Structure 1
Amino acid sequence: MPHSHCSDNHDCDHSSDETGILYNLFEKIDKENLECLNESIEGSGKTVFKPWDKRLDTENFVQSDADEELLFNIPFTGNVKLKGIRIASEDSANHPKKLRLFKNRPNMTFDDIAMEPDQVFELQIDSEGMHEYAPKVVTFSSVSHLTMHFPTNFGADSTKIYYIGLKGEWSPGHKHGVTICTYEARPNLDDHKLKHLDSVTRHID
C-alpha cells in the first residue's frame, strides 16, 4: 500500500522544497555559451546544472577524459551574488576532491589555471549533494562569469559529477556609463561657446 516516509513529520518535505527554491541559479546560466573542458562526451558538462529534485539522476553526468581534471566556464545572464555550492558524485574515488573558483575570468583554459584562485574548497565525498560549500560573500557578490576547476579526485583515473547546484541572488546587468559621460560633456562645450561670444560682444561695444 503506498505511503509517505514523511507522513508523521513534514519537515523533510518542507526542507527539500526550500532547498530546491534556493538552488535555482541553473536557470540563470547562459547554457549556449557554457563550456566544460576535458569532458569525455561533448556537451555532457551542461547536463549537471539541473533542478535540485533531479540531483540524484544518474543518467546525465559528466566524466573527465584524458585525466581527472574538469574545468567549467559558466557565464550568467546577469549579475549573481553567489551564496552556496553543492556537488553530487559517486560514493567512490571518482568523486572530485578539490574545487578552485575563479570570478569574472571568461574563457579560461588549462593554461590559465596556474593563477591564484579566488577561493578553494576541499570537498567531501557526497553522493546526494547534501553538503553546502559557502563562497566568500564579499568576493562573490557580483559575478557575471564563474569558473570552476576540479583539479583532482580521490584516486581514480577519471572524475565523475552528477550534479552541481548554485545558490544565490540574480539581477540584470546594467551598462549606462557611456551614456552618462556623453551627456555630461555637452554642457561644458556650450559654456565655452557662450564665454567666447560674450568677449566678442564686449569688444564691439
Structure 2
Amino acid sequence: MSSTVTISSPEQFSQLLQSSKIVMAYFFSSNPDSHGPATVYQQLAGTLSKSDRVTFVEINIDDQKDIKDAYNVTTTPAFFYFRDGVVVQKVESASKPQLRELVTRVVRDATGQAEASAASASASTTSQATWRGAELPRGYVDVTDQIESQRSELLNYDASCGGVRVLFDGSKPSALSGGKASAKDWVESDTDEQLMLYIPFQSVIKLHTLQITSLPPQEDDDDDDEAPMRPRTIKLFTNKPHNLGFDEAEDMAGTQDIELSEKDWNADGTANIPLRFVKFQKVTSLVIFVVDGDGESEKVRLDRVRLIGEAGEKREMGKLEKIGEGSE
C-alpha cells in the first residue's frame, strides 16, 4: 500500500506544508508519459514516510490547476522538496537515479544525519555555516546569498573603513571576536550620519525579516574623538531599478519605516526587524536608507546585514509561489 497522499485541494496542500517538516511533492498530468518514475517514488514513500516529519504527496496538475500555476509547473514529472513550508529544490523530468538521489538527500536532511552535505547541496541551505546575530524565524531561511553583490551600491560611506561587500560577509564581526581587526570589516558613514544601501537580487524574493548588526566601539576604545552610532530611523524601499538620492528618499514614502531603540539590539549587537510580509512578497531589489543614528555623533556604523525570507526561481526563469500563505 502506497504511503503517498493524493492532494485534492490547495487548502489540503497548504495544511500539509504547515504540519509536516519535510514534504516531497510529485507533480504529474493525466498523460501516461508524464508519470515517469512514479513507482520508485511510491516505493520510497512507503519506506521513508514519517508522521508529521516526512510526507510524500502526489498532485495531478490537470485537476489542481491553482497549485500548478502557483508553483509554475510547466514540465512533468516534477518533484519539489519543501522544508518548513519553503521550497528548497525542484527537479523536473527526473530519471530514476536523480529521483533516488534527491529523496535520499531529503531524508538525510530530515533525520539530521548529513546536515553539512545537505547544506552544500542546496542553495537555500548554504547559509547554515554563516554567522548570524539572531535566530532565524521558523520556516524561513537566510537569503543574503541571493544578493547581486557586484551591483550593490553604498552611498556616503567612509572609504577608510569597509565597503558594501563587508555588510554581507558570512564571518563573525571582528568586534565580537576580541582584539583589533587587521582590516576594518564594518561600514561607517562619511560626511554625516546617513547611509544609502542599494541591494539587487538574483531572484524574486519574499522578505520576512531584516537583521542589522551594529557594534559601535565604547568611547574609551575608539581612536576618534567621536564614536559612531547605531542606526535609529531606517526607511526601506522595494523594487527600485537603481539607488536613490538622499533628498529623493527623504521626500518619498517608504515601503516600511523603522524606528529602533536600545531595547531592539541584542547582546550580539543585532536588531531583528520583522517586516510587513504582505508588502515584501515580490522583491527584486531593496534600498535601505539609514536616516539618522541613535545619539549625537555625525557617524553611523553597520557591521552586517542579513536578509531572511524565501528565494524563488532566478528572475529569468520565473518565481515559485507558496500556496495558502498569509500575511504577517
Regarding TM over 0.5, the answer is: yes
Q: Specify the alignment match of 2:149 in structure 1.
A: 31
| Cα pair distance change 1:97/1:45, threshold 3 Å | same
Kindly indicate whether residue 169 of structure 2 is the aligned counterpart of residue 50 of structure 1.
yes
State the one-letter code of the partner of 2:239: N
Matches within 5 A, 1:1-205: 19=136, 24-41=142-159, 44-51=163-170, 54-58=171-175, 59-90=184-215, 94-107=229-242, 108-113=244-249, 114-125=251-262, 126=265, 128-154=268-294, 155-172=296-313, 173-174=315-316
Q: Is the 8 A contact 1:57 1:162 kept in 2?
A: no
Whose relative contact order is higher, 1 or 2, with alpha carbons under 8 Å and at least 6 apart? 1
Q: Say which one has the larger Rg.
A: 1
TM-score normalised to the size of structure 2? Answer: 0.44
Offset at 1:175?
6.6
- Find the aligned partners of 2:172 and 2:257 in 1 and give their Cα distance: 23
Aligned sequence identity (%): 24
Residue 174 of structure 2: SS of its match in structure 1?
Answer: coil
Q: 1:56 offset after TM fit, Å?
A: 3.1
Q: Within 2, Cα distance between the matches of 1:130 and 1:23?
A: 17
Contact kept? 1:80, 1:141, Cα under 8 Å: yes
Q: What is the number of equivalent residue pairs in this alignment?
A: 160
**Contact kept in structure 1, 2:133 and 2:213, CA below 8 Å:** no
Assess if the C-alpha contact under 8 Å between 2:134 and 2:211 holds in 1: no
Shift of 1:86: 1.2
- Give 3-state SS (helix, strand or coil) of 1:145's partner: strand
- Specify whether residues 23 and 62 from structure 1 end up closer, same or farther in structure 2 by C-alpha distance, changes over 3 A only: farther
Partner of 2:164, secondary structure, is helix
Secondary structure, counterpart of 1:152 in structure 2? strand
Cα distance in 2, alignment partners of residues 136 and 120 from structure 1: 10
Distance 1:130 1:163, change over 3 A: same
- 8 A Cα contact 1:56 1:162, kept in partner: yes
Which ranges of 4 or more aligned residues in structure 1 deviate by more than 4 Å?
Answer: 15-18, 20-23
Amino acid at match of 1:61: W
Q: How far, CA to CA, are the matches of 2:193 and 2:253 in structure 1?
A: 20
Rounded to whole Å, the distance in 1 between the matches of 2:287 and 2:276 is 15
The structure-2 alpha-carbon separation of the partners of 1:94 and 1:33, relative to structure 1 and needing over 3 Å to count, comes to: same
Distance in 2 (alpha carbons) for counterparts of 1:87 and 1:23: 16
1:94 Cα deviation from its structure 2 partner: 0.9
* Alpha-carbon separation, structure 1, partners of 2:302 and 2:134: 23
- TM-score (structure 1 length as normaliser): 0.69
Give yes or no for contact 1:129–1:163 (8 Å, CA) kept in 2: no
Structure 1 unaligned blocks of 5 or more: 1-14, 177-205
- Which amino acid in 1 is paired with 2:307? L
Distance in 2 between residues matched to 1:141 and 1:65, nearest whole Å: 33
Query: Amino acid of the residue matched to residue 110 of structure 1?
Result: F
Q: Following TM superposition, by how much is the alpha carbon of 1:17 offset from its aligned partner in structure 2, in angstroms?
A: 9.7
2:237 is matched by which residue type in structure 1?
A: F
Cα-Cα RMSD: 2.8
| Post-superposition CA distance 1:103-147 (Å, at most 9, x none) | 111322223202111101111343624431111111101100000
